[in-house]
A and B are shown apart, each in its own frame.
Chain A
Amino acid sequence: MVTCIYGFLFLPLIFIAFISVFSNRIISFPPAGYTLQWYFNILSQVQFVTGFVMSFQVALLAMIFGCILGTLAAIALTRFSFPGKAFLNMLLMSPLVVPGIVAGTALYVFYIQITELFGIRLAASLPGLAFAHITITIPWTVRLVASSMGGTDRSIEEAAMNLGANPWKTFTKVTLPLIRPGIVAAALFSFIVSFGNLEMSLFLVGPGKTTLPIAILQYLSFNLDPTIAAVSVVEIVIIGVAMLVTNRFVRISSIV
């Protein structure tokens, strides 16, 4: 029974990989033969190349900034107590709760408003997408780093301070190395969350400024062929590698 459920979860992934090596362009079973040519074919499809570059840039920005913002917030939330802490924590988690399609609608309308008021164009731009993705990575980074902070022994920091280290030195030499696994996991997880995001980005892309999942979606609306299967496999591999690396730093099973 358990195997069947795993089968159900993996069936679509297995078959998309299977199709990507079919030699005939129009999918039919059983295939006439097998080939890897579709993987080379990806490079001639400009929307996938630009989509990949865009997604990669956005994910990288979301990873760097999401991680810095999330780490700072997580440290403040775990180390200090202040009024309104529970509320702020809830606020930082809110991007997880608001549905992507609603958040995307809101952000799109907001960006257009900004363009009208200040003449700054954010819709269908790299910064516009990056801001959106940084926002959705914040709950993950805060959560991951905070749980890693929870596991550290406060007395080690106190010892460093007592021995004359200033707060900055204590932070860089003691706290930071202790929570490094949490930060690395947060970084990689942000990358994955951003790279795979569809609903929110949907509103924020434009001609020539599309992310990979949206390029795949648009192509799939018209045709399903080995080329799109090959592109999908590339995305599966990227996510898979990112996940395996993350797992070396923090147990994936304990964070999702």
Chain B
Amino acid sequence: MLGPATLFVLAFLLLPMLVVLRYSVNRYVPGGLMLQVFTLENYAHFFQDHYFHKVLLTTVWVSVVCTIVSLVLAFPLAYFLARTRSAAKSLLVMLVVFPLLVGNVVRAAGWMALLDTKGVVNSTLEALHIIKAPLNIMYTTGAVMIGIISIVTPFMVLTLQSVLEGINYSVEEAALNLGASPIRTFAKVTLPLAMPGVIAGTSLVFILCMNAYATPVLLGGPSFQMMAQTIYDQISNTQNWPFGAALAFVLMFVTVALTVIAQMFLQRRYKSAE
């Protein structure tokens, strides 16, 4: 019974991954068939070329900022959803899930409408005579960040909420009753207890950010590059499969490594807080 599903995952995910891993050590011949060799030159190419360093650095920088901002935004909402006794709770959770399911292209389109030089934000500010010339918000790193944050925040909210639901409110009440300030209660009681959710949420969101494609393409403009776009260009446009494959594995490796380091760091902080 497990056979068919397992076979599917093996045939259409793991086997292709192995094939592409093999391709990443082949030699690219411009305009010709690649050579079946064993070389690390594609990886070396990545580590030697400053252009690709910059792309990776931009990707990591945008991902770190977006992960932190989405954590800050998501925490109050997740806390509210976990604590509310409102009859509309299920509806409120659905309102978080809905944007998530709509997909990132449509939401990026919405941000384009808002941030464009003739968009809502600029038109409103101009009409109110706050600014004279339209602000260049579109095609900046900031626009990309806004877009990505709005896409990943629902994931963060849902992950945090599931952990916050399990925290007994009376522990917080006890801290407050014993004279701890709300801020101290949050820092010393709520946050340490919510740490598994924070770790799970930030890991998930960071991975999503690192692999973002549609938002940087649409909101970042032609000169802004993140890893996912670069991989797509190498595979589809340049047709340099060995290098594209190597880039895909670099991206995956860096993402996993940073996620694991961050998890260890957070876990240690959380242990020492106990």
**Any A CB within 8 A of the CB of B201:** no
Q: A29-B123, A252-B93 are in contact. Are A8 and B153 (CB under 8 A)?
A: yes
B9 touches A95 (CB 8 A): yes
Residues 127-150 of A, flagged 1 when their CB comes within 8 A of B and 0 if not, give: 000011011001000100000000
Known: A9-B153, A109-B245. A236 touches B5 (CB 8 A): no
* A102 to B248 Cα, complex, angstroms: 6
Partner of B98, one of A73, A108, A243: A243
**Given A105-B244, A196-B101, A243-B98, are A110 and B9 also a contact pair (CB < 8 Å)?**
no
Say yes or no: A106 contacts B110, CB within 8 Å: no
**Complex CA distance for A217 and B219, rounded to whole angstroms:** 11
Distance in Å: Cβ of B200 to nearest Cβ of chain A: 13
CB distance B113 to A224 under 8 Å?
Answer: yes
Interface residues on B, range: 35 or more
Task: Known A198-B104, A220-B105; judge A243-B9 contact (CB<8 A).
Answer: no
B25 at the interface (CB under 8 A from A): no
Minimum C-beta distance from A218 to chain B (A) = 10
Note all chain A residues with C-beta closer than 8 A to B245: 105, 109
- Which of A12-20, A153-161, A178-186 is found at the contact surface with chain B? A12-20
Q: State A19–B207 Cα separation when bound (angstroms).
A: 32
- Give residues 73-121 of B contacting A (CB, 8 Å): 73-74, 76-77, 80, 89-90, 93-114, 116, 118-120
Residues of chain A within 8 A of B101, CB atoms compared: 192, 196, 239, 243
Instruction: Knowing A91-B9, A105-B20, A202-B232 are in contact, say whether A8-B150 is a contact too (CB < 8 A).
Output: yes
The reply to whether B153 and A220 form a contact with Cβ atoms under 8 Å apart is no
B 232-244 to A, binary, CB cutoff 8 A, 1 in contact else 0? 1001100001001
| A88–B17 CA distance with the chains assembled, in angstroms | 18
Min CB–CB distance B92 → chain A (angstroms): 8
Question: Is B62 an interface residue when CB atoms closer than 8 A count as contact?
Answer: no
Neighbour of A217 across the interface among B217, B235, B255, CB < 8 A: B217
A29 to nearest B CB, angstroms?
A: 4
How many residue pairs, one in A and one in B, have C-beta atoms under 8 Å apart? 243
- A184-221 near B? 1/0 per residue, CB < 8 Å: 00000000100010110011000000000100110011
Tell me if A229 and B109 are in contact (CB < 8 A).
yes
Contacting pair B77 A5 (CB below 8 A): yes
The smallest beta-carbon distance between B12 and chain A, in angstroms, is: 4
- The answer to whether residues A101 and B9 also contact, given A15-B113, A220-B109, A220-B112 and a CB cut-off of 8 A, is no
Q: Which of B6, B12, B14, B17 has the most CB of A within 10 A?
A: B12
Assess whether B105 is in contact with A199, with CB atoms less than 8 Å apart: no
Let me know if A11 is at the binding interface, CB within 8 A: yes
Interface size grouping (class) on chain A: 35 or more
Establish whether residues A256 and B100, one from each chain, have CB atoms under 8 Å apart when the complex forms: yes
Given A99-B252, A102-B251 in contact, is the A88-B105 Cβ separation under 8 Å? no
B183 contacts the other chain (CB 8 A): no
Report A-chain residues with C-beta under 8 Å of the C-beta of B217: 217, 221
In the assembly, what is the distance between CA of A239 and CA of B221, in Å? 28
Residue pair A72, B105 in contact (C-beta under 8 Å): no
Query: Which has the most chain B C-beta neighbours within 10 Å: A5, A102, A192, A216?
Result: A102
**With A69-B5, A107-B16 as given contacts, are A196 and B103 in contact (CB-CB < 8 Å)?**
yes
The reply to whether the CB of B273 lies closer than 8 angstroms to some CB of chain A is no
Bound-complex Cα distance A164 to B224 (A): 68
B105 touches A198 (CB 8 A): yes
Decide: A12 and B12 in contact? CB cutoff 8 A. Answer: no
With beta carbons under 8 angstroms apart, the residue of B80, B103, B231 that contacts A101 is B231
B4, CB-defined interface residue at 8 Å:
yes
- When distances are taken between beta carbons in the complex, the residues of chain A under 8 Å from B123 are 28-30
Task: Please tell me if the beta carbons of B9 and A99 are within 8 angstroms of each other in the complex.
Answer: no
**A165 vs chain B, min Cβ distance (A):** 19
- Given A102-B252, A110-B16, A256-B97, 15 further pairs, Cβ under 8 A: A8-B73, A26-B118, A27-B116, A29-B124, A92-B9, A99-B210, A101-B213, A106-B13, A106-B17, A202-B232, A216-B105, A217-B217, A221-B218, A232-B110, A253-B89
- 7 nearest CB pairs, A to B: A12-B110, A110-B16, A29-B123, A253-B93, A196-B103, A106-B16, A73-B5
Which residue numbers of B lie inside 8 Å of A, CB to CB?
Answer: 1-2, 4-6, 8-10, 12-17, 19-20, 23, 73-74, 76-77, 80, 89-90, 93-114, 116, 118-120, 123-124, 127, 150, 153-154, 158, 207, 210-211, 213-214, 217-218, 228, 231-232, 235-236, 241, 244-245, 248-249, 251-252, 255
